Chain A
Amino acid sequence: MATKMITTDDGTTMTIPEMLKSIERYNPKHFPFLEKYVQEQAKENTYDLDANLAVLKFYQFNPHMMNLPITQLILLKAITNLPFSDFVLCKYLLLPVQMRDDTVKEIIYIADILEQCDFVLFWQHVQNKDKNELFEKITGFYDSIRKFVCHVVGTTFQTIDKVYLSRLLGNIDDKQLTQWVKKNNWTLSGDLVTIIKQEETIKTKHISEKIDFESLGGLMANCIN
């Protein structure tokens, strides 16, 4: 995706990374392509944080060019890259007028719930209201949230209750659960899902004092004198 050649208005061809290099990043001629690139990412389930931040930065420099639907797409895409802190990086670049938009506020709320790992509330929230329209703009949105859930569960649990896990993943049925378990190389036995032997990696550490020869050598030499 990123290496695709794009023909600009004056006939030269460039790739997206070339458009983002040093001062080219701020060239208004590239801007329409970068905005289009955001839409592409939403549709084709790809992701490029660097390019998206460049778009937000462009709005910061040129507030009159600010486009709310594109802003929303960028924020939603950033959520799909949890557990990375991309969302907060995007949020730092928002302008007051973007912060005031109701849809942006809604997306920030969703991100807030997810950052607190309140997955049960998240699934309730997206089911209750008429939110689907917003999230359907992003291909694979829900699965990327499930991937995030699996990441956090994977670092927290050694074994986890099957029912609780399926609730965290959005009340999925047994068939789907088996798929997610398989995908992560977990094992299902009875009511429990075994994640990984955490006890081998998460151990109490002892830091004991080590004195190197240099700091003591001189002192000991003095004693002999």
Chain B
Amino acid sequence: MYSQSDYYDAEYDDYPAQDSYDEYELQNNYYQTNTIPEVVKNFLLYLYESIQKCDVYNIQNLYENSFPKLSETYFEKKEWPDEKEVAELVDKDDLFMTLYKELYFRHIHARIQGGPQFEQRVASFYNYCEFFNIIFLQKPEDLELPDIWLWELVDEFVYQFQNYTQYRARLSDKTDDEIEKLAEPSNTRVWNILCLLNVLHSLVDMSNIKQQLEATAKGEDPNSVAGEHGSLSLYKMLGYFSLVGLLRVHSLLGDYHLAIKILEPIDISKKSQYTLVPACQISTSYYVGFAYMMMRRYSDAIRTFTSILLYIQRTKQLYISRSYQNDQINKQTEQMYHLLAICLVLHPQCIDESIQQMLREKNYNDNMYKMQCGDLEVFRNFFIFACPKFVSPCPPPFDAQDDYVKEPLEHQTQVFIDEVKQQLELPTIRSYLKLYTTLPLSKLASFMDKNERNGERDHDRAVAKLSTQLLCFKHKMNNVVCTKGSGLEGKFQSGSELDFYIDNNMIHIADTKVSHRYGDFFIRKILKFEDLNRRLKKVYP
């Protein structure tokens, strides 16, 4: 049942099951009496025509600008026109209809209050199946879609899986009838994890994207290994975005090793033809950085976060106009600042001045200080705010009345907090070490020992405890750090700003000293001054 061809075959052709569809139509009776507004009709026709002509420039404009605008004007809190009405307009073109329905269901997921109904979720799933069937079986060579659409399609596919899984796990707000529908054997394969993985892996394999990326990295021509479909932009980009999709799926399941491993052929620090969609870039870095943090590779996480946050700072103007993209980017940016703050508490390190500045301006310092003092509640809150929406791949036991939706989140949080607990004393030790260049073990032990000292034995115990903590300090600060190429492999390095060694009973401390950056400050002030001068001259020539 796992071979590629099986999946695209007749397995899903038995849909739609007629009864559930009728019910669904009754609810939407409204549209059968309402005609489509003229502007919308024109939009659809123009989109249809542009897709047929492979006019990518126009498609992108219609997709990125017109569709959100029309959604806002005509369909702010309701569905786009029913598929039957639209089908009449476009000669019932199968490919166009799957694309239209994809937008239709995406709009429902994003805008309709209370979220999509069960039947809509099912229909959306089968619509994706239909779309990928066309891609896999009919292999349309003349279909071209803008990168942004392909990215959002793959990303939405993973998102709806995540959303459905959480919906399925939330049993307490459902009627018996709904639970019965969920548990029906024919419905258990809807948004099944294996289906999702199968589609994403097939897109990756079909496009030879891994081989292409490896060839590019070696300085060879990627087209020589691209194969029949991999050389077409549509397949190539779908393949690339599927790698990112897999990164996300594995992160949602808590499999961070595989998440990073999937991305092996991609060097995320490099710009290329694949990195032209900012939302994809940002999302990739978010999941990569998060996975590194969970793997206790803080150095790599910090590097990933700072580099993407700098990129966002620089390029913000480019996508600020598109509000629907902007919302998600803002949210992810905020989450990454939170994660960066956690990483910097656990693994203090020098980072770019302007990111440091942002952390100060956004008032992270108070909370970072609390975390340094061992406030687990702050760690927990930061983590819960900033982590992805974890899911369980299996349906809950439907006879239970409880909610299972929080279980994966609770597990991931607990494991992370356990890790934090193991290193909770380290910031205190670090704060003492920072004050000295050499420090006898016994002296530091007496600083650390908060109890009243009653004699030799207690003191010995305190020294023994400190020695253990110092070993732990070294163990936790020694991170695997990416060296070259591979994202998964690396060498142990101690990249934190403070390091030490023990020579018999004496601690020798090596700190990182950063001299004040006057130059940067003056350059900025001079530029500002010049700018002011120029403006003044304009006003009083």
Please tell me if the beta carbons of A158 and B502 are within 8 angstroms of each other in the complex: yes
- Whether A44 is near chain B, meaning CB under 8 Å from some CB there, is no
Instruction: Tell me which residues across on chain B come within 8 A of A158, comparing CB atoms.
Output: 501-504, 508
- State how many angstroms separate the Cβ of A186 from the closest Cβ of chain B: 14
Q: How far is the CA of A207 from the CA of B350 in the complex (A)?
A: 9
Instruction: Tell me which residues across on chain A come within 8 A of B194, comparing CB atoms.
Output: 26, 61
- State how many angstroms separate the Cβ of B68 from the closest Cβ of chain A: 35
Q: How far is the CA of A120 from the CA of B469 in the complex (A)?
A: 12
Please tell me if the beta carbons of A204 and B504 are within 8 angstroms of each other in the complex: no
- Whether A179 is near chain B, meaning CB under 8 Å from some CB there, is no
- Whether B256 is near chain A, meaning CB under 8 Å from some CB there, is yes
Given contacts A204-B512, A219-B523, contact A156 B350 (CB under 8 A): no
Among A24, A116, A215, the one with the most B-chain Cβ atoms within 10 Å of its Cβ is: A116
Please tell me if the beta carbons of B515 and A27 are within 8 angstroms of each other in the complex: no
Q: How far is the CA of A62 from the CA of B294 in the complex (A)?
A: 24
Given contacts A89-B295, A115-B422, contact A204 B471 (CB under 8 A): no
Given contacts A92-B412, A156-B502, contact A22 B511 (CB under 8 A): no
Contact pick for B472, options A84, A116, A198, CB 8 Å? A116
> How many A-B contacts at CB < 8 Å in the complex?
161
Instruction: Tell me which residues across on chain B come within 8 A of A205, comparing CB atoms.
Output: 510-513
- Whether A49 is near chain B, meaning CB under 8 Å from some CB there, is yes
Please tell me if the beta carbons of B255 and A53 are within 8 angstroms of each other in the complex: yes
Q: How far is the CA of A207 from the CA of B513 in the complex (A)?
A: 6
Scan residues 461-512 of chain B and give those whose CB is less than 8 A from a CB of chain A: 464, 467-472, 474-475, 478, 480, 492, 494, 499-504, 508, 510-512
Q: How far is the CA of A22 from the CA of B194 in the complex (A)?
A: 12
Instruction: Tell me which residues across on chain A come within 8 A of B201, comparing CB atoms.
Output: 22-23
- Whether A63 is near chain B, meaning CB under 8 Å from some CB there, is yes
Q: How far is the CA of A206 from the CA of B516 in the complex (A)?
A: 11
- Whether B450 is near chain A, meaning CB under 8 Å from some CB there, is no
Please tell me if the beta carbons of B2 and A26 are within 8 angstroms of each other in the complex: yes
Instruction: Tell me which residues across on chain A come within 8 A of B422, comparing CB atoms.
Output: 112, 115-116
Please tell me if the beta carbons of B407 and A222 are within 8 angstroms of each other in the complex: no
Please tell me if the beta carbons of B478 and A155 are within 8 angstroms of each other in the complex: yes
- Whether B380 is near chain A, meaning CB under 8 Å from some CB there, is no
Q: Which of A35-43, A93-101, A134-142, A170-178 faces chain B?
A: A93-101
Instruction: Tell me which residues across on chain B come within 8 A of A91, comparing CB atoms.
Output: 415, 418
Q: How far is the CA of A44 from the CA of B8 in the complex (A)?
A: 42
Please tell me if the beta carbons of B295 and A53 are within 8 angstroms of each other in the complex: no
Chain B 229-261, CB within 8 Å of chain A: the 1/0 string? 000000000000000000000000111111001
Contact pick for B255, options A57, A156, A157, CB 8 Å? A57
- Whether A209 is near chain B, meaning CB under 8 Å from some CB there, is yes
- Whether B419 is near chain A, meaning CB under 8 Å from some CB there, is yes
Contact pick for B256, options A22, A92, A198, A208, CB 8 Å? A92
Given contacts A50-B257, A99-B411, contact A159 B296 (CB under 8 A): no
Please tell me if the beta carbons of B501 and A198 are within 8 angstroms of each other in the complex: yes
Please tell me if the beta carbons of A116 and B468 are within 8 angstroms of each other in the complex: yes
Instruction: Tell me which residues across on chain A come within 8 A of B418, comparing CB atoms.
Output: 91, 112
Given contacts A88-B296, A155-B474, contact A57 B500 (CB under 8 A): no
Instruction: Tell me which residues across on chain A come within 8 A of B500, comparing CB atoms.
Output: 202
Given contacts A23-B2, A155-B494, contact A207 B258 (CB under 8 A): no
Instruction: Tell me which residues across on chain B come within 8 A of A106, comparing CB atoms.
Output: none
- Whether B519 is near chain A, meaning CB under 8 Å from some CB there, is yes
Q: How far is the CA of A26 from the CA of B253 in the complex (A)?
A: 14
- Whether A161 is near chain B, meaning CB under 8 Å from some CB there, is yes
- Whether B278 is near chain A, meaning CB under 8 Å from some CB there, is no
- State how many angstroms separate the Cβ of B368 from the closest Cβ of chain A: 21
Scan residues 69-101 of chain A and give those whose CB is less than 8 A from a CB of chain B: 83-85, 88-89, 91-94, 96, 99
Q: How far is the CA of A219 from the CA of B531 in the complex (A)?
A: 12
Instruction: Tell me which residues across on chain B come within 8 A of A152, comparing CB atoms.
Output: 471, 474-475
- State how many angstroms separate the Cβ of A58 from the closest Cβ of chain B: 11
Beyond the given A85-B296, A115-B422, A206-B515, could you list 11 further A-B residue pairs with CB under 8 A, ordered by the A residue number? A22-B201, A23-B201, A61-B193, A88-B419, A92-B256, A92-B412, A155-B478, A204-B511, A205-B512, A207-B350, A209-B520
Please give the residue numbers on chain A whose beta carbons come within 8 Å of chain B beta carbons, in ascending order.
Answer: 22-24, 26-27, 49-50, 53, 57, 60-63, 83-85, 88-89, 91-94, 96, 99, 112, 115-120, 152-153, 155-161, 164, 192, 198-199, 202-209, 211, 215-216, 219, 222
Please give the residue numbers on chain B whose beta carbons come within 8 Å of chain A beta carbons, in ascending order.
Answer: 2, 4, 193-194, 197-198, 201-202, 204-205, 253-258, 261, 294-297, 350, 392-394, 407, 411-412, 415, 418-419, 422, 437, 464, 467-472, 474-475, 478, 480, 492, 494, 499-504, 508, 510-520, 523, 526-527, 530
* 7 pairs from A and B in contact (CB 8 Å cutoff): A23-B197, A88-B415, A92-B412, A115-B422, A153-B471, A208-B515, A209-B516
Q: List the 10 closest A-B pairs by CB distance, nearest first.
A: A198-B501, A117-B471, A158-B503, A92-B254, A117-B472, A211-B519, A23-B201, A85-B296, A205-B512, A156-B474
